[in-house]
Amino acid sequence: AGLRREEGNFEVVGHDKEPDAVAAAKRQNAVDRTEWNLYRACDKAEMIILAIPLAELEAILKLLAADLRPGTLVMAVNKVMQPALDVAAKHIPDDVHFVAAHPILTGVGGTLTVRPDLFTGAPFCLASSVETDPSAIQLASDLVERIGAKPLFIDAQEHDGIIAGVELLPQFFGMTLMQTLGGGAGWTEARKLAGRQFAQSTEPAGSADRLFSDFVANKRNLLLRIDQLQEALSNWRGLLEEEIVPELQEEEHPLLTALKATIKQREAWEAGAFLKNWEEAPRTDAAETRNMFQQMFFGNLFQRRGSAEEKNDKVAR
């Protein structure tokens, strides 16, 4: 929908094997027309955007490779970049350009619903091989800017290492949490008490096939992040085991210290995500951040709170 929010001298042709997805694209005015046949959808196209799981990318590129026009730009939107570049190197002709892409949407400050301004201000990762024509990279960047996003040129391997931690690890942990509790003997009663926190923590970011594809494609990085999480859980378990000594009440419990520092770190990230500004670390303190969200959604319903509680926060290093 973002591509068509302004007039342009181009035509957007959509294709999907799922009829519901095609109908939704038409309903949301995201395409000029649709084609049920993949070849017809890509016929004479100067740019092809493939928003498909990595497991399907190789098969699609094999099908299209012989019919791609010289100079065509193929963009693959995926959570893993280096494997996508590797697949393209095997199947894309030398006179066709390929760029891996990944938009970053947090949902902070709004809901993630399909709308023309969905990508406004959002980082949009772009990665390519060293052989990619600079003009193709510029075209990809222009496309990203047209939908209101901010191009973020990044090394594919660096991207995949980071994404394994900030996207795949939470999803993997959510699945293990669901299995651990859902498969337990007490689940019959526990499911009645599972509320919003549990729902958010275990919500899958796609189908089982999509998750499997993402996990396996970035397996090495994800395994490293799992090891880091296991070590961190062990450390936090140790903090929880620390006894509260009445004689030392003036000293803050190490778990409380860690919680304060971590919540403060999370609030700083949330402020940056809300402002969509990572050039400088947001200086907004936690109280200001809360007030900013409250003013946006509730007006003056809430009164500004003081920040005395944050002044005593300590950062654990």
Residue 79: pLDDT band by 50, 70, 90 thresholds? very high
Residue 60: pLDDT band by 50, 70, 90 thresholds? very high
For residue 201, the SS3 value is helix
- Which residues lie below 8 Å from residue 310, measured CB to CB, with a gap of 6+? 264, 285, 286, 287
Domain ranges of the chain: 2-154, 156-241, 242-317
Task: Please give the pLDDT value at position 274.
Answer: 86
C-alpha–C-alpha distance, residues 80 and 100, integer Å: 8
In this structure, of 101-105, 106-110, 289-293, 311-315, the range with the lowest mean pLDDT score is 311-315
- CATH number among 3.40.50.720, 3.20.20.140, 3.50.50.60, 1.10.1040.10, domain 2-154: 3.40.50.720
pLDDT tens digits along 251-310: 889 999 999 999 999 999 999 888 877 776 545 454 554 554 444 334 443 333 344 344
Residue 6: pLDDT band by 50, 70, 90 thresholds? low
pTM of the model as a whole? 0.80
Homologous superfamily of 156-241: 6-phosphogluconate dehydrogenase C-terminal like domain (1.10.3660.10)
Least Cα distance to 45 among 54, 53, 56, 35 occurs for 35
Answer whether 2-154 and 156-241 agree in fold.
Answer: no
